[in-house]
Amino acid sequence: MAAATTALSLSSVSSVSSSSAALLRPGWAPLRRWRTLARSTSSFPRSAASDEATVISGTKLARQVLKEVRRDVESWISAGNQRPHLTVILVGDNPASHIYVRNKIKAAAAVGISSEIILRPKDISQEELLDMTVKLNEDSRVSGLLVQLPLPDHIDERAVCNAIAPEKDVDGFHIMNIGRLCLDQPSVIPATAAAVWEIIKRTGIQTFGKNVLVAGRSKNVGMPISMLLHTDGEHERPGGDATVTITHRYTPKEQLKIHTQLADIVIVAAGQCRGCAKGRELFLCVPARKTETPFPVWYFYKSRLHPGSWLVTCCWVIHLGLQSRPA
């Protein structure tokens, strides 16, 4: 999933380079044709063995997306346009943030997008960070801009995200891009949500009329995923026409069980489960190998585990991030 997310993030860099007015990712054009095909195909393809489910390789799909982005970048440059350029502002010494940024820079180079990292100490003031963002907005050399999150506690992340020019907002976190997403209009979509959408499209998972459970309500992941899946497929920015239910840490266990049993697709966007450490969110940890019969799901909530057979036969499961189950 991380690979797919990085690929979609770079896709947005290529897109914002091609047009500051039309904030479209590569791949939206054939969506209506895909929607028609999805209605007529099976929602649950099986592997050769009847007792095994199809395994979706996010890494394989990410390679496909990166290949397409590289082709688009080459075509863009061949037409006489400026090479797309990504600028990343990295504040502090968060190890995970440094890994994420390195992966983005590496992937950018692989598809022909130039890039740079601007390092700043964790004690940088919010005013200085905002001033830097404004200058990069005005820099014609910069096609896409992102400030790696999370930021130190003394900085208002929402203020920083809204300071980035919407047409350069690679993360898709600007209030204008979020608003366009909610209004079913073309926009730069947050990379993780876009990755889930691409996985669903490219795998041929049918969403039209299906029940989808999204575990997690974050504004950067759970919310945009839900918006993409439940909206009208005939709108300007086509959606999945699914019935979407969002659960979170305050969803009662009994209700979560009911929603899970009704779901055709379960998307786990609730973070990371680390043993029995205190959790602030809800986690569903599923076995790596799924059979065509119901199997146990471990429900992690407020440091307590509850085993149960909640998933129905042939339910698609897409989980984001690392999951682990205590012994």
**DSSP per residue over 293-321, as a string?**
S---EEEEETTEEEEE--PPTT-EEEE-S
4 within 8 A of 199, measured Cβ to Cβ: yes
184 flagged as catalytic: no
For the chain, give the number of residues. 327
CA–CA distance, 61 with 57 (Å, rounded to integer): 6
Beta bridge partners of 299: 284, 306
Is 170 in contact with 147 (CB distance < 8 Å)? no
Question: Which residue in 72, 104, 206, 290 is the catalytic one?
Answer: 104
Three-state DSSP state, 185: coil
Q: Which of 72, 148, 290, 323 is catalytic?
A: 148
- Sign of the torsion formed by the C-alpha atoms of 71, 76, 79 and 81: negative
Q: Is 253 a catalytic residue?
A: no
Respond yes or no on whether the N-terminal peptide bond of residue 150 is cis (omega within 30° of 0).
yes
**Marked catalytic residue, from 171, 184, 241, 264:** 171
> Do 40 and 33 meet the contact criterion of CB atoms below 8 Å apart?
no
| Residue 139 annotated in active site | no
Report the largest interatomic distance among the alpha carbons of the chain, rounded to a whole angstrom: 60
Active site residues: 104, 148, 171
